[in-house]
A and B are shown apart, each in its own frame.
Chain A
Amino acid sequence: MTSIDVSPEPFRLSMLIYDTRFRSLTIQTVAVLLFMLAAAWLVNNTVQNLNALGKDFDFGFLSSRAGYDINQALIPYTNDSTHGRAALVGILNTLLVALLGCTFATIIGVLAGVLRLSTNWVVAKLAAAYVEGFRNVPVLLWIFTIMAVITESAPAPSAFRGDTATASMLFSDSVAITNRGLYMPWPVWGPGWHLVVATFVLSLIAIILFGRYAKKRQEETGEILPTLWIKLGLFFIPTLLIDFVMGSPITLAYPVLERFNFVGGGFVDKALIALVVALSLYTGAFIAENVRAGILAISKGQTEAANALGLRPNRTMSLVVLPQAMRIIIPPLISQYLNLTKNSSLAIAVGYMDVRATLGGITMNQTGRELECMLLLMGFYLVVSLAISSLMNWYNSSVSLKER
């Protein structure tokens, strides 16, 4: 091979456009310039407008007194607390709804997705009706509807009273569903509860250790232990035993009907219930479709090959079908979690005080700091969604199938 020298061309201005070496550089420079011009224009407008309104750009309001009440707070909060704390309460409330919603949506979605694939005609059609019904109606309408179901159909606390009570508590007088919310038993931590909780934590560790032991033993001897039963036993027996020996330090406080309302026990506000129920039913319908698609994507050949090797249906499911289906289901599942979290910003529709209702609602209206509040609010949602999507990217790269 003889090398041919490329004689360096003298630079001409038109090369900026026609020469492939410079062309992309030119375009990028123009793009960056345009972008910066647009940004400068927006910032300039903003500064002028803020000046005209006599406002400045300052986050100091976060440490001033909020002066409004929040009906549900996971951390101590009064109307003397700061706006910053109100925002934090809102953030925690948003995260609470997101967590509860994702949990229930997953349960509902997996169930509905599997049932929709059932060979049972009635069950499959009912699951399909659920999925289509919830997917095709706006989530805000579902939130309103479910809130209305609770306020209109659930009995008032007074309906539980007296000889002519029209409503009764469930589960032997322990749970009351009312139009204010849900009253339910709540644990009371008596002396010695530490020991019971410690036992429980220890038995969780024991379950993990036992799982490892069982796997190792199977690798060495081939024997398959009935792990499920042993693990279930480990989960319940030691804790119950200690609880009994210690004379039941952890008791439940039951809600009791007083003059106007139930007192004692735990209380979940109807707004939270309506929001969680609506969001999880709505998102569950989408998850059901993802689950169905994931299971359908595993070809019949996989099951047949496993069966032909002599694997029983339940082992075929756990060793062959599920590990593959999970890879297909989990990425869209995570983006459904993201959608649910974003949809939880509709909480204001039922008066639930999430971050959008505190920081992006009352605080914003009271202080008139629209720009600062919106920036913080969007920043919070961005952080959450970036966290969730980096989780997804990590998962995708860790399970991606190796192909040629």
Chain B
Amino acid sequence: MTEAAREDLKPVNPATLKVSDEIAIEIARMNKWFGQFHVLRDINLTVNRGERIVVCGPSGSGKSTLIRCINRLEEHQKGLIKVDGIELTSDLKNIDKIRSEVGMVFQHFNLFPHLTILENCTLAPIWVRKTPKKEAEEVAMHFLRKVKIPEQAAKYPGQLSGGQQQRVAIARSLCMKPKIMLFDEPTSALDPEMIKEVLDTMIELAQEGMTMICVTHEMGFAQAVANRVIFMDKGQIVEQNEPREFFNNPKSERTKLFLSQILGH
């Protein structure tokens, strides 16, 4: 988990990636409870289009819950979440709109084991976007080429390695042409040698200007592409800063402690 191990990531200069002034996600005074457990406390976060945000923090700090709230896999009880100008309420139409704009990649891939790789990628475009099958397949092949596994299209998820499955999962999300991508610890269920191939795919996405929020402990990735790093603990945002400042000069005691643990200093 040291930086040395990640030096072989694709070189990229974060400063060259452009961030627009347009707001993609706006979260204000958002609170969430699981039963009586106060899991997210007063979250305020604005994400501009083109931003690459890395969220880190100890387990149970609420970081996964935060991004799951953004596409309503979890319901928040207080405050406001606006994605692409649409407010998330219990209105099904809004939820549908937001979900088709926001792609999500899970820790355990969650590919559909009964469908081929190609069918995994075309399922949502066909049934949600109502794309003709042929067109959906062309799009799917385009993205499978992009994640460098077009030759696996006819196979089933169970026949692929973990790294390949996660890349398929990314391609599956991209087939919906999302404007925002959420990554929920995409590499933590992978063997070390497969992490790089997934991170490279994500870096490529970043270079194309995708808005990304990524829950990860891959600090090498954070330094390579993130324009902002957020540290969460006990359900709240404790510190956020641009990566260089965040790693070299953490302000909060909690952040320092966390970084010292995770970077093994």
Direct contact of A and B (CB under 8 A): yes
Could you list which residues of chain A lie within 8 angstroms of chain B, going by C-beta atoms? 218-224, 299, 301-302, 304-312, 315, 319-320, 323-324, 327, 401-404
Q: What distance in Å separates the Cβ of B112 from its nearest Cβ neighbour in chain A?
A: 6
Q: Are A309 and B133 in contact (CB under 8 A)?
A: no
Sample (26) of A-B pairs whose CB atoms are under 8 Å apart: A218-B126, A218-B133, A219-B134, A220-B133, A222-B131, A222-B133, A222-B135, A223-B130, A224-B130, A299-B108, A302-B110, A306-B112, A307-B73, A308-B71, A308-B106, A309-B123, A309-B124, A309-B176, A310-B100, A315-B127, A319-B123, A324-B112, A401-B113, A401-B158, A403-B158, A403-B159
User: Are B172 and A323 neighbours in the complex by a CB distance under 8 Å?
Assistant: no
The residue on A at minimum CB distance from B99 is A310
Contact status B156-A401, CB under 8 Å? yes
Most buried by A among B100, B108, B111, B114: B114
Measured between alpha carbons, how far is A323 from B112 in the docked complex, in Å? 10
Establish whether residues A305 and B114, one from each chain, have CB atoms under 8 Å apart when the complex forms: no
Chain B 162-189 per-residue mask, 1 if CB under 8 angstroms from chain A, else 0: 0000000100110010000000000000
Report B27 CB to chain A, min CB distance, Å. 18
Question: Once bound together, how far apart are the Cα atoms of A257 and B147, in whole Å?
Answer: 76
Q: How far is the CB of B90 from chain A (nearest CB, A)?
A: 14
Smallest CB-CB separation from A399: which chain B residue? Answer: B114
Q: Check if A308 sits within 8 Å of B128, measured CB to CB.
A: no
Which B residues are in CB contact (< 8 Å) with A323?
A: 114
| Cβ of A322 to closest chain B Cβ, rounded Å | 10
Contact A310 B128 (CB under 8 A): yes
Do A309 and B158 touch across chains, with their CB atoms under 8 A apart?
no
Additional A-B contact list (7), CB under 8 Å, known A305-B104, A401-B156: A219-B132, A220-B132, A305-B112, A311-B128, A315-B127, A319-B123, A402-B159
B172 lies within 8 A of A309 (CB):
yes
Choose among A219, A223, A309 the residue that contacts B128 (Cβ–Cβ < 8 A): A309
Residue of A nearest to B104 (CB): A308
Task: Give the chain A neighbours of B130 by CB distance below 8 A.
Answer: 222-224
Min Cβ gap B164→A in Å is: 11
Closest 8 CB pairs of A and B: A305-B110, A309-B124, A219-B133, A403-B158, A301-B110, A222-B130, A308-B104, A310-B100
Q: Are the CB atoms of B110 and A307 closer together than 8 Å?
A: no
The distance in angstroms between the C-alpha atoms of A19 and B210, with both chains bound, is 68
A323–B114 CA distance with the chains assembled, in angstroms: 7
Quick one: closest B residue to A315, CB to CB?
Answer: B127
| Known A310-B99, A401-B113, A403-B158; contact A301-B106, beta-carbon cutoff 8 A | yes
Cross-interface CB contact of B156 among A219, A305, A402, cutoff 8 Å:
A402
- How far is B112's CA from A82's CA once the two chains are assembled, in angstroms? 58
Interface secondary structure of A, over-half rule:
helix
| Cα of A221 to Cα of B134 in the assembled complex, Å | 9
Which B residues are in CB contact (< 8 Å) with A319? 123, 127
A261 CA / B201 CA spacing, docked (Å): 80
Rounded to whole angstroms, the CA-CA distance of A404 and B164 in the bound complex is 13
A305 to B166, CA, bound (A): 13
B3 cross-chain contacts in A, Cβ below 8 A: none
Complex: A122 Cα to B115 Cα, angstroms: 37
Closest-CB distance, B83 to chain A (whole angstroms): 13
CB distance from A329 to the nearest CB of B (A): 13
Residues of B with C-beta under 8 A to A327: 114
Which residues 74-116 in B have Cβ within 8 Å of A in the complex?
92, 96, 99-100, 102-104, 106, 108, 110-114
Task: Tell me the complex Cα distance, A382–B153, Å.
Answer: 44
Residues from chain B with Cβ under 8 Å of A310 in the complex: 96, 99-100, 124, 128, 176
Check B155 for interface membership: any CB of A closer than 8 A.
yes
Q: How far is the CA of A327 from the CA of B102 in the complex (A)?
A: 31
Shortest A136–chain B CB gap in Å is 34
Q: Considering residues A224, A327, A402, which has the most beta carbons from chain B within 10 angstroms of its beta carbon?
A: A402
Partner of A304, one of B73, B114, B172, B176: B73
Q: Name the one of B102, B112, B114, B158 contacting A404, with C-beta atoms under 8 angstroms.
A: B158
| B110 close to A311 (CB less than 8 A) | no
Q: CA A315 – CA B46 in complex, angstroms?
A: 33
With A319-B123, A404-B159 as known contacts, state yes or no: A312 contacts B133, CB within 8 Å.
Answer: no
Whether the pair A301, B108 counts as a contact (CB closer than 8 A) is yes
Minimum CB–CB distance from B239 to chain A (whole Å) comes to 28
Q: Contacting A402 at CB < 8 Å: which of B110, B123, B158?
A: B158
B103 to chain A, nearest CB (A): 8
Nearest Cβ distance between residue A214 and chain B, in whole angstroms?
13
> For the complex, what is the distance from the CA of A312 to the CA of B130, rounded to whole Å?
13
The distance in angstroms between the C-alpha atoms of A329 and B158, with both chains bound, is: 20
A404 and B176 CA atoms in complex are apart in Å by 28
Alpha-carbon gap, A401 to B159, bound state (A):
10
- Chain A residues near B102 (CB-CB < 8 A): 308
In angstroms, Cα B129 to Cα A302, docked, is 20
Q: Which residue of A lies closest to B160 (CB)?
A: A404
Would you give the shortest CB distance from B137 to chain A, in whole angstroms?
10
Contacts of B126 in A (CB 8 A): 218, 222
- Nearest CB to that of B127 among chain A residues? A315
A219→B135 CA distance, assembly (Å): 9
Residues of A within 8 A of B110 (CB): 299, 301-302, 304-305
Shortest Cβ distance from B238 into chain A, in angstroms? 27
- Measured between C-beta atoms, what is the minimum distance from A213 to chain B in Å? 15
Chain B minimum-CB-distance residue to A220: B132
Q: Tell me how far the C-beta of B204 lies from the nearest C-beta in chain A, rounded to whole angstroms.
A: 21
Distance between Cα atoms of A327 and B128 in the complex (Å)? 25
**A320 closest partner in B (C-beta):** B112
Tell whether A312 pairs with B155 under 8 Å between CB atoms, given A323-B114, A324-B113: no
Q: How far is the CB of B188 from chain A (nearest CB, A)?
A: 14
A337–B128 Cα distance when bound, in Å, is: 38
Neighbouring A residues of B159 by C-beta, 8 Å: 402-404
Residues of A within 8 A of B160 (CB): 404
Question: Could you say which residues of chain B place their CB within 8 Å of the CB of A219?
Answer: 132-134
C-alpha spacing A323/B156, complex, angstroms: 15
A17 and B89 alpha carbons, distance in the complex (Å): 78
A317 to chain B, nearest CB (A): 12
Q: How far is the CA of A302 from the CA of B134 in the complex (A)?
A: 25
Chain A residues whose CB sits within 8 angstroms of the CB of B128 once the complex forms: 309-311
